[in-house]
Amino acid sequence: MQMSSGRDFIALSCRKGVLRFGAFVTKAGRTSPYFFNAGLFDDGASFDALCGFYARAIRDSGLAFDMLFGPAYKGIPLVAGTAMRLAGEGVNVPFAFNRKEAKDHGEGGTLIGAPLRGRVLILDDVISAGTSVRESVAIIRAQGAEPAGVAIALDRMERGQGDVSAVQEVGQAYGIPVVAVATLDDLVAYLSDDAASEADLAAVQAYRDVYGTHETHVAR
């Protein structure tokens, strides 16, 4: 499936019900006009397409990395699926992920997969409070490796606790780029092309006027 643009990803997300419109309360207590749940990419075809979008965004970014890391739990299938899609495109890299709790038998420990070495690209679905990225960076550095960046599905381009977004906070805190498959700009462009989505577009734009930020990403 050769979809590559953020707008195509938004279209897929809407078809799968991953992206829905209405009134949803966020963790920050805001009433958002849209909700994104990557866990609803729950069949083989749509999940394969999702990982293909990640692989394409990562390759298009030009970001240098040696391996992939997926934080438990949503990052686990993402990192495996994206590694497979990258390999299918001629980029074969190792991957690893973590357990939430250490295993005290068998191979033991909290890490599964390849040893964390070199420049490690973190894969996650979204960045909200940045907790998952913070924990991943700590795990990577504890193994003597370095975080190369973070790849996510959707950047809401929305202010966090201060004047910048959670995505920008991650970039500033760790000095690493964030690669987004799609952004709020892509969502607005998708809605703008559909006359039936006029009300949703107005709601998203109104929400953005209040909570939005302007930010710069690694090129997709």
**φ, ψ for residue 112, nearest 5 deg:** -130, 140
d(CA 69, CA 128): 18
| Side-chain half-sphere CA neighbours of 209 within 13 A | 6
* Catalytic residue, candidates 16, 27, 74, 105: 105
Known catalytic membership, residue 103: yes
Known catalytic membership, residue 100: no
* Catalytic residue, candidates 27, 74, 100, 103: 103
Active-site residues, by number, are 103, 105
